[in-house]
Structure 1
Amino acid sequence: MKLTVTMFVSADGVAQGPGGPEEDRSDGFARGGWVVPLLDEETGRFIDETFSQVDAFLLGRNTYEIFAASWPNSTDPDDPIANALNTLPKHVASTTLTDPKWNNTTVLEGDVPAAVAELKKRPGRELQVHGSIRLVDTLYEHDLVDEYRFMTFPVIVGQGLRLFARGGPDTKLDLVESRITSSGIVITVYRPAGRPDYGVAEVE
């Protein structure tokens, strides 16, 4: 399976608590819900397109618990997001989750990068990561991501966990697709393309 990462990101790189004030208050974060006023139909269609390609999910503990608290309550068979999340396999990277209640959930224990590498060998279309900032950092550090899908919102949040904040290998990205929505959300799809080149800017 191809491992893809889909992420809401602010203009200043924040990826924490996009969906609501109570979604993630870790480290004193108090500005959750920053995507909600800007969501539009074009972004919704892109998200639906993304979920139409999934065969399994890979989630961090926090994102898994946020999803598990709400999506099982959505039983509309025509909702592509609810249908995928409620029926497809879900793999959770966690050292503390021991008894998940959401159906089709497996907890990845021990060496997470090695476990994810084995998951990628399984047949199927996409193993999708949504949110899960800390997990994405780990996957990035181990070159396990095949495609990044960023929805960059026109807002500076000013605090919160930022994507790729821990550092890691320098990585060149090839642009696969880009679009701008009516709300000013910039949707970009990238694929890692090895190490970047460096040069010197000169004035002629």
Structure 2
Amino acid sequence: MSTLIVTAFVTLDGVMQAPGGPNEDVDKGFAHGGWQVPYVDEDFMGLMTGIFEQTADHLLLGRKTYDIFATYWPRVTDENNPIAVKLNTMPKYVASRTRNSLEWNNSHLLTGDAAQAIARLKEQLDGVLMTQGSSDLIRTLQQHDLVDEYRLLINPVILGTGKRLFAEGAAPTAWRLRESRTTKAGVQYCAYERAGKPEYGTFELDEEG
């Protein structure tokens, strides 16, 4: 059975829409595309290289993110670019209701109900199944309690609008901080692993008799 890890670039207010460019995702008139680019430095790239090289065995994508990646990464053919080499060769699984075929090397289409298909995929695969981008797909994973770990790269910027990592309907879950570090540009990397269900308490004072 595989471990499903959500890797996401987010702002301080949880926005994950269009980090890489102004035309990446303009849904609902989003005008802040490319907000992450100023924070991508050597530390950041080292983190991402380590994530892909050392832990990611399979990539899980929604259709929109797949389309973005499939038009970009096959054109990056530098054998000294470890992220490009990994992405272009690793198995990629794509949840889509509109695509009938996939052109990017080693890509596999998941059809039917996405949550059921991914639950089966987790059972069938070994190693780490990792998402990148794919905010709509992540919401489905959260609602069906399929996420085993989060790897968040939190950028020091607030946008006030855009698609967020967490929304109403996510399954209540407790998480344990397993690893954290900060890049020179101020991006906070946090890795959280599941820690069961939330526990509750109270600060209310006992009523005096």
Same fold (TM over 0.5): yes
C-alpha distance in 2 between matches for 1:80 and 1:142: 33
- C-alpha displacement of 1:139: 0.8
Q: State how 1:107-122 maps to structure 2 within 5 Å.
A: 107-122=109-124
C-alpha distance in 2 between matches for 1:35 and 1:62: 19
- C-alpha displacement of 1:203: 7.2
C-alpha distance in 2 between matches for 1:92 and 1:16: 19
C-alpha distance in 2 between matches for 1:173 and 1:180: 20
The residue aligned with 2:56 is 54
1:180 to 182, 186, 190: 182
C-alpha distance in 2 between matches for 1:66 and 1:83: 17
TM-score where L is the length of structure 1: 0.95
Aligned structure 1 segments of 4 or more residues deviating by more than 6 angstroms: none
The residue aligned with 2:18 is 17
Gaps of 5+ in 1: none
- C-alpha displacement of 1:156: 0.3
TM-score where L is the length of structure 2: 0.92
- Residue aligned with 1:58, SS: strand
Equivalent pair of 2:39/2:185 in contact (CA under 8 Å): yes
Amino acid paired to 1:98: N
The residue aligned with 2:154 is 152
Gaps of 5+ in 2: none
Structure 1's 105 and 193: CA in aligned 2 closer, same or farther, altered over 3 A? same
Q: State how 1:99-114 maps to structure 2 within 5 Å.
A: 99-114=101-116
Q: State how 1:118-197 maps to structure 2 within 5 Å.
A: 118-197=120-199
Tell me the C-alpha RMSD between the 2 structures: 1.5
Equivalent pair of 1:91/1:107 in contact (CA under 8 Å): yes
C-alpha distance in 1 between matches for 2:137 and 2:68: 15
Amino acid paired to 1:56: H
Equivalent pair of 2:3/2:129 in contact (CA under 8 Å): yes
Amino acid paired to 1:7: A
Amino acid paired to 2:27: S
Work out whether 1:78 is the aligned partner of 2:62. Answer: no
User: Which structure would you say has the larger Rg?
Assistant: 2
Aligned residues: 204
Equivalent pair of 1:178/1:188 in contact (CA under 8 Å): yes
Identity rate of aligned residues, in percent?
Answer: 49
- Superposed CA deviations along residues 177-203 of structure 1, whole A, max 9, x for unmatched, are 011111111110001222111222247
- Residue aligned with 1:179, SS: strand
- C-alpha displacement of 1:28: 0.9
C-alpha distance in 2 between matches for 1:133 and 1:181: 24
- Superposed CA deviations along residues 115-156 of structure 1, whole A, max 9, x for unmatched, are 112222234321110011111111111121111000000000
Equivalent pair of 1:137/1:166 in contact (CA under 8 Å): no
C-alpha distance in 2 between matches for 1:128 and 1:177: 17
